[in-house]
């Protein structure tokens, strides 16, 4: 936990861009403010894209505190999912060792960058009993159904099948991203979904519980049978249990708007017979060498590698904050030296005694941050 300085006076109400309406909203209206920020899938952490997203939401956390809110910030670690298992198999390491090592590295990097840690922080694996109960409740209510598994799957109770959410039960499905049906089907296939799976009622119906498969880890699923959780229900349950429903903001990188946040909000709506997240906020994706920085493409710049060169992590933080959280930008060789130069200039400026009155600067910084966290202007 970094030391959080308190400043004289109070910040303005913070407006942020809601991805659903495209409009600025004051997402937290009461004394408290709640946000769920999707955490990493722990392989190949922490690249500059992850760091930009987490520093962006850290700015929201700090701006909210400065505006007088008591903040509760919840997050997860997707410590069992297809991409993690695939990477472990491809590199010949134990999937759990990989997850533990990369989760620890994220914590080290976030600490170095001064990111205030989440108040509620849970792994997919530790949330399994709660996910199982939630999926059982969805089946009970008629909001989820079983799909037969292929021969050899499902351990000693193959007849139980995998479980999928029935999106037709949620009249408001689609209200978060407001995408066309064609776009939804395309993105679902590109981002971890299985539109081609036989036996589903709708190609978009998302997996809630995947039965045991040979060579994959599985856990006791009570009436669901042995297996592991789907991705969206993991975040829906951790957010619900950590923050209560509804909560103020669901956040992450822009790649999570659909299907992940559309689906997890839908799950929370059905679980609560009401609401999920009130607002959705997304950080722009950072590119490198002309393409989105991503684990699957491998065009990565690691925070830990930059730290290993001896650079002050606060220079990395400044390099990230020089870009507006919503902009899509490309990390280049010029970013880090600019952060280093700014840090040196600031440190030398404040190293003497005295100086001009800071009131006008503080007011201007608060005004910039209240306007959709405009960090470049604030810097």
Please name the residue ranges forming H helices in the chain.
48-66, 82-91, 95-112, 128-140, 181-190, 231-243, 262-272, 303-308, 313-321, 335-349, 359-370, 375-378
Under the binding rule (CB under 6 A), the answer on residue 58 touching ligand 5CA is no
Q: How is residue 225 annotated by DSSP?
A: -
Q: Which is nearer to ligand 5CA, 40 or 128 (CB)?
A: 40
Residue 239's binding partner among ligand 5CA, Zn ion, none (Cβ under 5 to 8 angstroms by kind) is none
Residues 6 or more apart from 174 whose CB is under 8 A from it? 184, 262
Among 61, 72, 78, 218, binds ligand 5CA (CB under 6 A): 78
Token pair recorded at residue 188: 């679902």
Stretch that binds ligand 5CA, among 22-30, 141-149, 206-214, 280-288 (CB under 6 A): 280-288
Residue 309 CB-density burial (10 A; 0-12 exposed, 13-18 middle, 19+ buried): exposed
Q: Return the axis-axis angle of helices 48-66 and 359-370, rounded to nearest 10°.
A: 120
Stretch that binds ligand 5CA, among 11-19, 143-151, 237-245, 286-294 (CB under 6 A): 286-294
Under the binding rule (CB under 6 A), the answer on residue 366 touching ligand 5CA is no
Under the binding rule (CB under 6 A), the answer on residue 105 touching ligand 5CA is no
Residue 283's binding partner among ligand 5CA, Zn ion, none (Cβ under 5 to 8 angstroms by kind) is ligand 5CA
Under the binding rule (CB under 6 A), the answer on residue 118 touching ligand 5CA is no
Stretch that binds ligand 5CA, among 177-185, 236-244, 266-274, 284-292 (CB under 6 A): 284-292
Under the binding rule (CB under 6 A), the answer on residue 294 touching ligand 5CA is yes
Q: Which is nearer to ligand 5CA, 330 or 367 (CB)?
A: 330
Under the binding rule (CB under 6 A), the answer on residue 373 touching ligand 5CA is no
Q: Which is nearer to ligand 5CA, 27 or 160 (CB)?
A: 27
Are the beta carbons of 310 and 351 closer than 8 angstroms? no
The verdict on whether omega for the bond into residue 326 sits within 30 degrees of 0, i.e. cis, is no
Are the beta carbons of 179 and 200 closer than 8 angstroms? no
Q: In Å, how far are 85, 92, 217, 235 from 98, measured between CA atoms?
A: 9, 10, 14, 21
Residue 221's binding partner among ligand 5CA, Zn ion, none (Cβ under 5 to 8 angstroms by kind) is none
Among 28, 35, 160, 235, binds ligand 5CA (CB under 6 A): 235
Are the beta carbons of 49 and 95 closer than 8 angstroms? no
Residues 6 or more apart from 364 whose CB is under 8 A from it? 378
Q: Which is nearer to ligand 5CA, 54 or 64 (CB)?
A: 54
Are the beta carbons of 100 and 84 closer than 8 angstroms? no
Q: Which is nearer to ligand 5CA, 232 or 278 (CB)?
A: 232
Q: Which is nearer to ligand 5CA, 148 or 304 (CB)?
A: 304
Among 34, 41, 218, 265, binds ligand 5CA (CB under 6 A): 41
The contact set with ligand 5CA (CB under 6 A) reads: 38-41, 49-50, 52-53, 76, 78, 235, 252-253, 255-256, 283, 285-286, 292-294
């Amino acid at each position: 936990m970094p030391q959080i300085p308190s400043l004289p006076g109070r910040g303005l109400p913070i407006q942020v861009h809601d991805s659903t309406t495209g409009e600025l909203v004051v997402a937290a209206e009461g004394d408290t403010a709640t946000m769920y920020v999707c955490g990493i899938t722990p392989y190949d952490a922490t690249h500059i894209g992850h760091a930009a997203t987490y520093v962006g939401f850290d700015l929201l956390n700090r701006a909210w505190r400065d505006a007088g809110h008591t903040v509760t910030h919840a997050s997860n670690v997707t410590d069992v999912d297809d991409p993690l298992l695939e990477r472990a198999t491809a590199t010949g390491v134990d999937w759990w060792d990989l997850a533990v090592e990369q989760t620890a590295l994220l914590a080290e990097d976030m600490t170095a960058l001064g990111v205030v840690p989440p108040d509620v922080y849970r792994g997919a694996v530790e949330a399994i009993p709660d996910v199982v109960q939630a999926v059982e409740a969805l089946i009970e209510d008629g909001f989820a159904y079983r799909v037969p598994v292929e021969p050899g799957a499902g351990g000693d109770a193959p007849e139980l099948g995998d479980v999928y959410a029935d999106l037709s039960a949620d009249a408001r499905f689609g209200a978060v991203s407001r995408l066309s049906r064609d776009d939804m089907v395309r993105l679902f296939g590109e981002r971890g979904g299985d539109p081609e799976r036989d036996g589903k009622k709708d190609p978009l119906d998302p997996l809630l519980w995947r039965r045991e498969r040979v060579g994959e880890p599985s856990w006791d699923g009570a009436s669901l049978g042995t297996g592991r959780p789907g991705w969206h229900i993991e975040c829906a349950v951790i957010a619900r249990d950590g923050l209560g429903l509804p909560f103020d903001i669901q956040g992450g990188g822009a790649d999570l708007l659909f299907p992940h946040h559309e689906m997890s909000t839908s799950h929370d709506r059905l679980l609560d017979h009401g609401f999920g997240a009130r607002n959705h906020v997304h950080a722009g994706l950072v590119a490198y060498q002309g393409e989105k920085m991503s684990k699957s493409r491998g065009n990565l710049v690691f925070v830990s590698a930059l730290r290993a060169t001896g650079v002050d992590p606060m220079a990395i933080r400044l390099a990230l904050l020089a870009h507006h959280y919503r902009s899509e930008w490309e990390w280049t060789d010029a970013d880090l030296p600019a952060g280093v130069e700014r840090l040196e200039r600031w440190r030398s400026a404040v190293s003497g005694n005295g100086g001009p009155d800071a009131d006008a600067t503080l007011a201007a910084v608060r005004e910039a941050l209240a306007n959709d966290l405009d960090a470049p202007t604030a810097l």
